């Protein structure tokens, strides 16, 4: 019986718990340090079991011993980005939160695959890998799956086609330094660059890059959670079902793409062992330069954290 632990019972964590249970994918442990929040949401989700038609257990807790034997741990806990706040503004506050969580995960669920969702995603994925002491394959960040989904949606809208026919590729940092690769994005196997006009391509790239910030600005309080929880669910399915699915995720890259010792968004083969392979795409000089700059930004943030 599969078990997924979700650390953080906010909008992303609560919605993800609902998606997992209703997909009959795994039992869920929802953990939050705020008194009663995880327990209340777990009761509410469990009360829907008869109506939805599943028998997955949903447990709410603030005790880390309840995550023992989890196959996957998803970290969504942390402060949400507010209007006018960059992902970097979140860094110091969320670093402390993720560091504490990482120690608890390593103590109680050392065999698990750890999926990072908390922002700034790339920096905190690096922090989680360091603090848990896990193997690189065990720690993976969600950012690229979400960014690619946004890009695919925008391509579908521009062309007036079904979003289900679109596969997009976005690498780099999860944020303003992401790198949508439309020549590696397809519509039923046709490269998106053959279907989109140059103007449409620029619009898709720009809107993909700014989508998260626009959602934050529109909401006024909080940030996206429907698509992020769906992105995390896609990764969980790939791991639990050993799909060997190629997805753009934040993973440890060392001696690939000309990068060394940094977690950043790249295509990975995701399966039961976590990150089973890094897929190296052929990049243009401009794309390689932008990826290098994104990696430098992540490393600079890590240096700032560690003094």
Q: Which of 143, 158, 176 is the last residue of a domain?
A: 143
pLDDT class for 12, splitting at 50, 70, 90? very high
Count CB neighbours of 134 within 10 A. 21
Q: Which of 126, 143, 160 is the last residue of a domain?
A: 143
Strands, E assignment, the chain: 3-7, 27-31, 58-61, 72-75, 113-116, 139-141, 166-167, 170-172, 178-180, 186-187, 190-191, 245-253, 262-271, 274-278
pLDDT class for 306, splitting at 50, 70, 90? confident
Rounded to an integer, what distance in angstroms lies between the CA atom of residue 19 and that of residue 7? Answer: 15
302 and 221 in a common domain: yes
125 and 15 in a common domain: yes
The count of structural domains within the chain is 2
- Half-sphere exposure in the Cβ direction for 184 (13 Å, CA): 19
Per-residue pLDDT tens for 152-191? 999 999 999 999 999 999 999 998 899 999 999 999 999 9
- Residue 9 is part of which domain span? 3-143
- Give the domain CATH number at 250: 3.90.110.10
300 and 246 in a common domain: yes
Task: Select which of 54, 108, 174, 306 is catalytic.
Answer: 174
85 and 120 in a common domain: yes
139 and 12 in a common domain: yes
The sign one gets for the Cα dihedral 253, 191, 215, 84 is positive
Determine how β-strand 3-7 pairs with β-strand 27-31: parallel
231 and 129 in a common domain: no
Residue 150 near residue 174 (C-beta atoms within 8 A): no
Q: Which of 143, 163, 184 is the last residue of a domain?
A: 143
In the predicted structure, residue 221 carries a pLDDT above the cut 70: yes
Residue 227 near residue 144 (C-beta atoms within 8 A): no
251 and 132 in a common domain: no
Phi first, then psi, for residue 45 (nearest 5°) are -65, -40
Phi first, then psi, for residue 164 (nearest 5°) are -65, -20
- Give the domain CATH number at 49: 3.40.50.720
104 and 193 in a common domain: no
pTM: 0.96
Per-residue pLDDT tens for 295-305? 999 999 999 88
In the predicted structure, residue 268 carries a pLDDT above the cut 80: yes
273 and 156 in a common domain: yes
152 and 128 in a common domain: no
Residue 229 near residue 145 (C-beta atoms within 8 A): no
Catalytic, 174? Answer yes
Per-residue pLDDT tens for 126-150? 999 999 999 999 999 999 999 999 9
133 and 7 in a common domain: yes
230 and 85 in a common domain: no
């Amino acid at each position: 019986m599969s078990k997924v632990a979700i650390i953080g019972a906010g909008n992303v964590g609560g919605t993800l718990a609902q998606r997992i249970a209703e997909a009959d994918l795994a039992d869920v442990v929802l953990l939050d340090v705020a008194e009663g929040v995880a327990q209340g949401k777990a009761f509410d989700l469990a009360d829907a079991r008869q109506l939805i038609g599943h028998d997955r257990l949903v447990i709410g807790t603030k005790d880390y011993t309840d995550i023992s034997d989890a196959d996957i741990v998803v970290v969504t806990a942390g402060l949400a980005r507010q209007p006018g706040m960059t992902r970097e503004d979140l860094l110091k506050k969320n670093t402390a939160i993720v560091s504490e969580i990482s120690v608890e995960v390593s103590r109680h669920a050392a065999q698990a695959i750890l999926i990072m969702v908390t922002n700034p995603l790339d920096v905190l994925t690096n922090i989680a890998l360091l603090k848990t002491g896990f193997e690189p394959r065990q720690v993976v960040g969600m950012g690229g799956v979400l960014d690619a989904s946004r890009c695919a949606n925008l391509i579908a809208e521009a062309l007036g086609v079904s979003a289900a026919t679109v596969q997009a590729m976005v690498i780099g940092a999860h944020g303003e330094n992401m790198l949508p690769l439309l020549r590696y994005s397809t519509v039923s196997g046709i490269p998106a660059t053959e279907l989109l006009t140059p103007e449409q391509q620029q619009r898709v790239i720009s809107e993909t890059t700014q989508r998260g910030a626009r959602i934050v600005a529109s909401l006024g309080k909080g940030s996206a959670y429907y698509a992020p929880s769906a992105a995390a669910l896609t990764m969980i399915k790939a791991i639990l079902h050993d799909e060997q699915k190629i997805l753009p995720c934040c993973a440890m890259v060392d001696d690939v793409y000309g990068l060394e010792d940094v977690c950043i968004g790249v295509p990975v083969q995701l399966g039961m062992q976590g990150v089973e392979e890094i897929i190296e795409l052929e990049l243009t000089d401009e794309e390689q330069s932008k990826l290098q700059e994104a990696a430098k930004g992540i490393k600079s943030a890590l240096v700032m954290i560690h003094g």
